[in-house]
Amino acid sequence: MRVITGSARGRTLQTLSGEDVRPTVDRVKEAVFSIIQFEIEGRRVLDLFGGSGQMGIEALSRGAESCIFTDIDRNAVDVIKANLKTTGLSDKAQVIQADAISFLKNNQQSFDIVFLDPPYSAGLMQKVLPLAAARTAKGGVIVCESPLKEELPENAGGMSIYRSYKYGKTKITVYRPTEIQS
C-alpha cells in the first residue's frame, strides 16, 4: 500500500493485520481520487473508520488543508500516527480514538470531504451516513466504500446519491448535497 501522488508520493504505508482488515486497494483508491480530484486542494477532510489512514493521507498528500482521522481500535490509531510520521503529514492531521457515532454526535466541525468505510456487514453505514451528512459543509462530498450488494439509502440528511461506481466486489457511492443535484 502506497501513497499514489502528491507530496508523499510513493511512500509505503503500514497496515493492520488480521482477517477483518481490508485496506482499500490501489485501483479503487485511484478511482476515488479521480472522482474528487478537483475538490481536494485546501479542503477539510474527515477519514472516519480510518484503519491505516490511507484515504486521508492521500488527500493530505494532494493538498488538503487538514484531516481528522478516527478509529475505535487503538492499534489502528497507532498505525495512522506512524503513517502520518512516515509521510511527513502529521502537522496537518489530528488522530482521535473514538467510535464514529460518538465522534459525529459530539463534534461540531464541518468537513468538505468525508470518507466512510465502516466494517462490512455491521450495519454502521446506515447509522453513520445521516450524522456525517450533518457535518458535511455546504457543497461538500461524502465518499462511501461498501460491499457491492449492500443497499445504501438514496438520501441522508440533505445529501443524495450522486453516483455509484463498481470495482469488483466493492462499490463506491458518492453523496452530494441534494440542492446541488436539482
Residue 6 corresponds to which cell in the numbers above?
A: 502528491
CA distance 147 to 56: 20
Domain boundaries defined on the chain:
26-181
CA distance 121 to 123: 6
How many residues in total does the chain contain? 182
Give the pLDDT of residue 61: 97
C-alpha to C-alpha distances, 110 to 23, 44, 130, 134, 149, nearest whole angstrom: 26, 8, 13, 8, 30
At residue 171, what is the residue type? K
What is the CATH code of the structural domain delimited by 26-181? 3.40.50.150
Q: Are 60 and 78 in contact (CB under 8 A)?
A: no
Instruction: Tell me the residue ranges of DSSP E strands in 25-127.
Output: 44-48, 66-71, 93-97, 111-116
Cell 486521508 sits on residue:
56
When computed from its CA atoms, the radius of gyration of the chain, rounded to whole angstroms, is: 15
Give the pLDDT of residue 25: 73
Q: What is the pLDDT along the chain (182 residues), one digit of tens a residue?
A: 889 889 999 899 998 876 555 567 778 889 999 999 999 999 999 999 999 999 999 999 999 999 999 999 999 999 999 999 999 999 999 999 999 999 999 999 999 999 999 988 788 999 999 999 999 999 999 999 999 999 999 999 899 999 999 998 999 999 999 876 54
Give the pLDDT of residue 181: 56
Give the pLDDT of residue 26: 76
